Amino acid sequence: MTNAAESMGERLIGALTGALELCTVEIGCKLGLYAAVRDGANTAAELAKAAEIDERYAQEWLEQQAAAGFLTATFELTPGTAAVLLDEGGPAYAAPAAEFAVGVGLLTPTVIEAFRTGAGVPYSSYEHLRHGIGGFNRPMFNHLLTTEWLPAVSSIDQRLQAVPGARVLDLGCGMGYSSVAMALAYPSITVRGVDLDEHSIGEARRVAAEAGVADRVSFTSADAAAASGSYDLVTIFEALHDMGDPVGVLRNARELLSPSGSVFIGDERVSDTFIAPAGEIERLQYAFSVLHCLPATRAENPVLANGTILRAPTLLGWAREAGFEQPEVLDIPNDFWRFYHLR
Ligand SMILES: C[S@@+](CC[C@H](N)C(=O)[O-])C[C@H]1O[C@@H](n2cnc3c(N)ncnc32)[C@H](O)[C@@H]1O
């Protein structure tokens, strides 16, 4: 075997290990096994009893998790596993990554068929992914959106704190976590979340009710290009690249703004031009693009199907085409997203 074949083979086996281990994490999350281990179920018999599962499976899962380094050799949680898989409100929570992977895998046969026919795969088909995306982004909305991101633009922060309260439109709101986080942080504002996916809107209403802000946060299932009303701030988080008419959406957003209003966008942090091989995060985004974002946008009968890789020059070009005279990239550090302010 050549060195090149050997290293490619090693790489694939490493990726396979990672993919399979993610599926075992999903088993642990869905069956409450990590929580049971945290609460003292550190043998197969204890875990089987606590989580109401079969003891032989419990034994194999405990050993596999320890072999993977997710549990200690005596089947206890490591501090990292506790923070990433169990602390749902914490900044390091990333358990939905497992649901993400499983959700994408389930739809891969459908995507293979779409490659043949050119058809799209509607966002609503990716049921597990909806929860994966929402759950994955939620810690950023809860911990960074109103403490770092929006305050980075002082005019936005001031307007959100002012009375009478600002009207905010959250386009492509998904499960509503960003809309709710803004309402909780700024008690005078009202937020309207809009998303094409009816299932997401149903979940968003539940999220707002549970957070006690349903009187100030409403949700509508609609195309962002057709949203209506008048707003002081329009936000779009990790959704512009998914929309089938991004310039139409930005043009509409501009028309809905009050005289001092503006648009705040968070979308993928990728390089300005195509680079191969790419860095770790861009590789992740490209894989999402092939497996999910491009097929989902193709299902919208799009004017343009961009895929996940929304580069800064492309977004700024769309903004200018939509009539914004001063689109700018904001200097907000984040591994996954880049931020834009359009006026
Ligand atoms: C990656 S998800 C992000 C959801 C949410 N903003 C978050 O960060 O968790 C993209 C969202 O854009 C929505 N979307 C796609 N095309 C849309 C359109 N034309 N109008 C409104 N929403 C759209 C999808 O339904 C999906 O909920």
Q: How far is the CA of 202 from the centre of ligand 1 (A)?
A: 14
Cβ atoms < 10 Å from Cβ of 76: 14
Q: How far is the CA of 69 from the centre of ligand 1 (A)?
A: 35
Summarised one tens digit per residue, pLDDT across range 78-112 is 999 999 999 998 999 999 999 989 999 999 999 99
Q: In what order do the strands lie in the sheet with 167-171?
A: 217-221, 190-195, 167-171, 231-237, 257-268, 337-342, 328-330
Whole-number pLDDT of residue 128: 83
Whole-number pLDDT of residue 312: 98
- List, as one string, the DSSP characters of 296-338: HHHTT--S----S---HHHHHHHHHHTT-S--EEE----SSEE
Average confidence score pLDDT of the chain: 97
- Binding site membership of 207 for ligand 1 (Cβ less than 6 Å): no
Whole-number pLDDT of residue 131: 87
Query: Whose alpha carbon is nearest atom 9 of ligand 1?
Result: 134
Q: Please check whether residue 178 is in contact with residue 192, taking contact to mean a CB–CB distance below 8 angstroms.
A: no
- Binding site membership of 239 for ligand 1 (Cβ less than 6 Å): yes
Ligand 1 atom nearest to 173, measured from its CA = 6
The pair phi, psi for residue 233, each rounded to 5°, is -145, 135
Whole-number pLDDT of residue 89: 86
Whole-number pLDDT of residue 1: 77
No. of H helices and E strands in the chain? 14, 7
Residue 292 DSSP SS3: helix
Q: What is the dihedral of CA 151, 154, 156, 157, to 10 degrees?
A: 50
- Tell me the C-alpha to C-alpha distance, in Å, between residue 312 and each of 134, 236, 251, 330: 24, 15, 18, 11
What the chain holds in terms of domains, given with CATH numbers, is 3-86 (1.10.10.10), 100-342 (3.40.50.150)
Ligand 1 atom nearest to 237, measured from its CA = 6
CA dist 243 and 223 (Å) reads 9
Whole-number pLDDT of residue 159: 98
Ligand 1 atom nearest to 200, measured from its CA = 27
Q: How far is the CA of 196 from the centre of ligand 1 (A)?
A: 7
Q: Which of 252, 127, 253, 264 has the alpha carbon at shortest distance from 197? A: 127
The pair phi, psi for residue 227, each rounded to 5°, is -60, 150
- List, as one string, the DSSP characters of 149-217: IGGGSHHHHHHHHSSSPPEEEEET-TTSHHHHHHHHHSTT-EEEEEES-HHHHHHHHHHHHHHT-TTTE
- Tell me the pTM: 0.95
Please identify every stretch of the chain with a pLDDT value under 70, giving residue numbers as ranges.
none
CA dist 58 and 54 (Å) reads 6
Q: Please check whether residue 239 is in contact with residue 223, taking contact to mean a CB–CB distance below 8 angstroms.
A: no
Amino acid, single-letter form, for residue 129: L
Tokens at residue 51, please?
């989580």
